[in-house]
Amino acid sequence: MIQHYKKAYNTISNHMFSNNPFTWVYGLSVTILALCVLIILSFSDTLVLFDQGMYNGQLGEKLFSNYNLFYVFGWEDLGYSKAIAIVILLIVASGWRPRFTGILHWWVTASFFHASSLLEGGDQIAMILTLLLIPVTLLDHRKWHWQACDKFSEYKKFVGNLMFVLVAIQMSLLYLNAVTDKIYVSEEWKVGSAFYYYVNDAFFSYPSGWTHL
């Protein structure tokens, strides 16, 4: 039994210190996270995403307000903040210099989450994931996150793999919570009829033109 646990420990240890997490796969995940917020900012009107009432005397009461990108120029010049966010997300999505863009990526997603009045769970997930990926990006010395490179120390590989384990745990707990909440709170989710309601809902369902396909 002791040898079995020792073998398992050695296997995990070798993986954590030897497996290279700095690959194009991790780069693709960063690009997707950046594109999600980028699409929202690019194709949504400012008045839809942000509420002017949040800018009138309430900034001091909000956590993160002093460093929030969307509060820097105020309501009248909110377009400048939006433009800066779009430029940052374009650079992040391109994969250039992840060591410098990782923190900026989190800054944009966190600023959007704390400033926007039109949010969903995905925005919070993006903020959490970009925060967990900061240690990985800081240790990534590649010029582009699409490049193949194995010249990373065991320490960097361990930190990178550890953060990906934390990301996996975070996402597992998130979906476990979503499943248990739906099963125990709503009978419709338990029997499967909730899917029918969502498909036929005017707000959540597919476009009306698709009904003839």
**Structural domain spans, the chain:** 19-184
Encoded amino acid at 102, one letter? G
The CA distance from 41 to 35, in Å, is: 10
**pLDDT for the residue 212:** 53
Q: Is 19 left (phi over 0), alpha (psi -120 to 50) or beta?
A: beta
**pLDDT for the residue 40:** 94
* Global confidence as pTM: 0.84
Which residue reads 């476009």 in tokens?
207
Which DSSP symbol is given to 149?
-
Residue segments in the chain with a per-residue pLDDT below the cut of 50? 57, 60
The CA distance from 75 to 195, in Å, is: 39
Strand ranges for the chain from DSSP E: none
**pLDDT for the residue 57:** 47
Q: Tell me the CB-side half-sphere exposure of residue 8, using CA atoms within 13 A.
A: 5
pLDDT in tens, 72-115: 888 888 999 999 999 999 999 999 999 999 999 999 999 999 88
**pLDDT for the residue 177:** 86
